[in-house]
Structure 1
């Protein structure tokens, strides 16, 4: 009860009464508010450019947002929607059209692509009304506030998530937003930002998440392991009970965030998830990193973090805190470039850049805020890349042997070691194993699993096994570069234990280091 009262009291300091404006839907010139460029995992898989290059329109109601989507020539025609005023249930109706799939009482970004939703003017507030992203790609949500979205009680919207992504979502950049609730699950609220059912290549940057029982999650259950490749940077999490975030499988990069008053737990890596946790500042909080509420282990690589008045609970059957002296138990390869601010300056730089209506300021990498360049060109999408850049050194798979548990018709084990990404191996079912083998003991410490472009993102949880001894060298989720302690062996097996569709492995590369 004391926690709930504190949540309500704290929220009251931030939630102001805002009045929506009833303005007409206006056609605008092609130039629009500066959005900068996507960062983190949202730059991968072809990049995230939203509505760049398309028409720009203005909307002051949820109905006008839906109308802008529905008035496009097709569901993939680029568009930037500039939002001003308060969007709520009373002004958000379903609009029909060939290029949209909307619903009343929620902002529906469903079965669409190439859209930017950006707050302008005196601000955009989505009041008690969430933003759905479903079966969509190349979406930017920027400079908006979403508050008090409930999953129960009145009104009800979006299952309780301020921003919810679900069902085959790709490439979303959420930037400079403020997401807030006024309590926890007992008061009808759920997560502030959730990603489920095959959601990949997402970045949350320069945002504020506060006053909620749950910050957000990747994966709705221990069996929903098809999500991942998510970056969290320069965000402020404040007065959150747990899930900052909760990771079930997949890979996350968590850097330069400021965490204040995490009441029960913080970054919860479980079910084979891997989190690279760099230069964050944790303050006045409990159990900020570990595997919690499950015996399904997750993993982390830590460096440069500051733990300021952080307390840690004792380990138990379903409680494995990383502290009080957090150490890495895995390694995570990051395929994009980034610059780390020093952890000691994170509270200051985040306080001056994060959240809606802060001028879209970002860090220059030296703890100094700067405004985005409105004339900076937005990069064009590139061909999808299946994972991190190929490691250096000699690919030991070339000239080696290969076998596996099964192979689909028309595929071959040898296709994974021929250096040709146009050929591939598939198991006869959605799971299976593929091995590289040598005539004598060979030292290996790194593999690279390259999916075909047509199947990118299908591989879920996996294990890498020393086939000589049966020992599991490492486990995780998703294709790409995988590292483990140097091991001398004659045969190494990549075992896929879950997928969102039939995997297609173009190359299974092996390296000594």
Structure 2
């Protein structure tokens, strides 16, 4: 078919916030906004179990936390962890009955391989720069009901950004959806993400009785090689702008049961029935402006089939309660080819069809500890020690001496005769063993509370804690760990 453009306004305001400035656009900015774990402790995780441990180590289920994820997260390294501040499961990444959490891929990337991310009964969640693939609801292994990212049961204020969500087929191959919202999920934004190779993109409302979901914003996403549901809307309100839809095999945006969707400056190509009400006569509605319809095929109007084309026109008038900027539709494919998806540098549009990198962030957000090293003059013990090493070597201020566990894991502790207040520690590996510590946790020996988890040595911020003994537990290593200094600080 010939190229068809529905012309509209070039922009409807200015960006209120963007990924470049550290926040979302769209409905995730409403209802108090979405900040995730901002202001909380930052920890590193290289396994699914460590993600769960980080959630369970918080003082409460709403204590802010940023979990930096690197590596392949899969069934083999994801177990259930218990605690008062978490409710986890072994077959998925479980963000359940919690709030104020950021899950972000860093370094060489975060791949959730056959393992879905489940957000349930939670608020103020950010998931950013992650790749989730091949999550199955049937066959083996199964996870998260077959959804790459699934939200359900009283969820609000979620921002998913720069994610790659993909399957390797449709329902007959064992997969369900890539991005589902159901059971009263509200105030969500999906941005700069790639959804591909799936029978189902995602839905808003799991059945005709599940109508309490939304509003939701979809902007600057790529939908590629999807059968349908980009998305399926059962009631509710959606805003979709500056997305690239290509290879939709059966249908695209499906507005049903009184749903309203604002469809602006998107690029639709090589697709069938990209907008309308499908598989029902319970109509939804749409406002269209500025879209390009390139090589799009429209089916005939019939019972249960109500395409918006071949000449899409608005059937409702909508407004949204936030400011945003629109790129011209004709630049969207090229723009998103470089900016959308995981591991693309968190690039975003500058509002004029060009990309810009986010504001620079330090590679290590932990500030160096200040003040006196409280370990000097303290005592030390541990779970084990290798021949020739000593616990006291970690508190002597001498980088040339060290302690090693008798195996690949172990504990070393600093202790005092009376309580001390500790806000940070510094773990210094010996020069010939830098990088050997791959995972650890810090524990209040007096109470058993886990104060921090992560990977690698260095400076570690802690919640302000009063104790008489503090443990550093090496839970994973490559080679033989050699810890030269275990420094403790009050400020």
Question: What's the TM-score, normalizing by structure 2?
Answer: 0.69
Tell me: CA distance 1:294–1:264, structure 2 relative to 1, closer, same or farther (3 Å): same
- Cα shift at 1:34: 8.0
Tell me the distance in 2 between the aligned counterparts of 1:137 and 1:172.
7
Within the candidate set 323, 328, 341, 1:337 is matched to: 323
**What whole-Å deviation, never above 9, does each CA across 1:241-268 have from its counterpart, x for those lacking one?**
0000000010000000000100000000
Matches within 5 A, 1:401-440: none
1:10-49 equivalences under 5 Å are 36-49=22-35
Partners in 1 of 2:330 and 2:34 — Cα distance? 31
- Residue 486 of structure 2 corresponds to none
Q: In the alignment, is the contact (CA less than 8 A) between 1:301 and 1:332 conserved in 2?
A: yes
User: Where does 1:77-92 land on structure 2 (aligned, <5 Å)?
Assistant: 77-92=63-78
Rg larger for? 2
Query: 1:249, 1:137 → 2: CA distance?
Result: 22
Aligned 8 A contact 1:35 1:142 in 2: no
1:35 positional shift: 7.6
* Structure having greater relative contact order (Cα 8 Å, sep ≥ 6): 2
CA deviations on 1:399-436 (whole Å, 9 max, x unpaired) are xxxxxxxxxxxxxxxxxxxxxxxxxxxxxxxxxxxxxx
Q: 1:219 maps to what in 2?
A: 205
Rounded Cα–Cα distance in structure 1 between residues aligned with 2:145 and 2:235: 22
Residues 1:269 and 2:227 aligned together? no
| Distance in structure 1 (CA, Å) of the matches to 2:177 and 2:272 | 19
Distance 2:213 2:107 in 1: 35
Name the counterpart of 2:104: 118
1:300-449 aligned at under 5 Å gives the runs 300-374=286-360
* Structure 1 residue matching 2:50: 3-state secondary structure: helix
Moved over 6 A (4+): none
Q: Are positions 1:162 and 2:148 aligned together? A: yes
Q: RMSD value over aligned CA atoms?
A: 1.2
* Distance change (3 Å), C-alpha of 1:129 and 1:91: same
Q: For 1:191, what is the secondary structure of its paired residue?
A: coil
Shift of 1:38: 1.3
Query: In structure 1, what is the equivalent of residue 81 of structure 2?
Result: 95
TM-score by length of 1: 0.66
Change (3 A) 1:35 1:68: farther
Taking the aligned partners of 1:200 and 1:374, their CA distance within structure 2 comes to 30
**Shift, 1:332, TM fit:** 1.3
- Counterpart residue number, 2:454: none
Q: Unaligned stretches of 5+ in structure 2?
A: 1-18, 363-491
CA distance in 1, matches of 2:98, 2:145: 21
In structure 1, the residue matched to 2:231 is: 245
C-alpha contact (below 8 Å) 2:20/2:357 kept by paired residues: no
Task: Tell me if structure 1 keeps the 8 A contact 2:20–2:347.
Answer: no
C-alpha distance in structure 1 between counterparts of 2:131 and 2:177, whole Å: 15
Distance 1:335 1:200 in 2: 14
CA deviation digits over 1:106-145, x for unaligned, max 9?
Answer: 0000000000000000000000000000000000000000
* 2:50 paired with 1:64: yes
Aligned to 1:185: 171
- Work out the CA distance in 1 between the residues paired with 2:340 and 2:252: 19
- CA deviation vs aligned residue, 1:191-233 (integer Å, no higher than 9, x gap): 0000001000000000000000000000001111000110000
CA distance, structure 1, for counterparts of residue 101 and residue 145 of structure 2: 23
1:35–1:360 contact (8 Å) kept in structure 2? no
Q: Deviations over 1:46-87 (max 9, x none)?
A: 000000000000000000000000000000000000000000
